[in-house]
């Protein structure tokens, strides 16, 4: 009975998070989220801080990185196409590191566009360069390359976190002296 209760609590927490993000986007037009998955590497890595601005599908451009809500989860993928059929609008996305496109979604599922990516305190350019395209293609085709990339990213993140903690400790110590 205990695992069932934990699962229900986790599901309720996810629903509250989605509702909070959607409400914040609706009321304030912007929200910041931490990336958790690997479907957009090398452009977005786990732990990156994303700034998302509310955006209707009609203003989204092919190539934008967008936030959508799918089956009770967030999805941050690149917009491949958008179209209208009758009075309904639809779009399709795909993760840069994935082989398959996402299922078609309705305009109501599009929440916003990623306008900034911050990694280790620095802004990351989300536009496609030749180097990033080649790296994404390699990651898409090779599980080994994906593991190497994630290992290097993890090592760099640990190094950055340790350096940031040293700086924070030095600042605290300096504050105590003053």
Tell whether 26 is covered by a domain: yes
Any domain includes 173: no
Q: Is residue 178 part of a domain?
A: no
Q: Return the HEC string of the chain.
A: CHHHHHHHHHHHHHHHHHHHHHHHHHHHCEEEEECCCCCCCCCCCCCCEEEEEECCHHHCCCCCEEEEEECCEEEEEEEEEEEEECCEEEEEEECCCCCCCCCCEEHHHEEEEEEEEEECCEEECCCCCHHHHHHHHHHHHCHHHHHHHHHHHHHHHHHHHHHHHHHHHHHHHHHHHC
In a domain, 137, yes or no: no
Q: Is position 139 within any domain?
A: no
Residue 27 lies in a domain: yes
Condensed to tens digits (0 to 9), the pLDDT of residues 37-47 reads: 889 988 898 88
Residue 23 inside a domain? The answer is: yes
User: Which CATH number goes with the domain that contains 6?
Assistant: 2.10.109.10
To the question of pTM greater than 0.85 for the whole model, the response is no
Residue 8: the pLDDT is: 80
Residue 7 has pLDDT above 90, yes or no: no
Domain total in the chain: 1
Residue 174 lies in a domain: no
Domain interval for residue 59: 2-127
Model confidence over 78-128: pLDDT tens digits? 999 999 999 999 999 999 889 899 999 999 999 999 999 998 888 887 666
């Amino acid at each position: 009975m205990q695992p069932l209760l934990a699962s229900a609590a986790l599901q309720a927490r996810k629903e509250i998070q989605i509702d909070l993000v959607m409400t914040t986007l609706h009321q304030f037009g912007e929200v910041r989220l931490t990336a958790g998955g690997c479907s957009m590497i090398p452009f977005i890595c786990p732990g990156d801080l994303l700034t998302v601005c509310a955006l209707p599908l009609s203003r989204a451009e092919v190539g934008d990185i967008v936030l959508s809500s799918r089956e009770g989860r967030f999805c941050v993928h690149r917009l491949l196409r958008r179209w209208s059929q009758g009075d309904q609008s639809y779009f399709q996305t795909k993760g840069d590191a994935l082989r398959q496109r996402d299922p078609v979604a309705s305009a109501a599922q599009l929440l916003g566009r990623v306008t900034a990516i911050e990694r280790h305190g620095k802004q990351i350019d989300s536009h496609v360069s030749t180097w990033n395209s080649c790296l994404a293609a390699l990651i898409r085709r090779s599980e080994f390359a994906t593991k190497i990339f994630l290992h290097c990213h993890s090592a760099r993140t640990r190094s950055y976190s340790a350096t940031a903690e040293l700086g924070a400790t030095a600042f605290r110590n300096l504050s105590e002296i003053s």
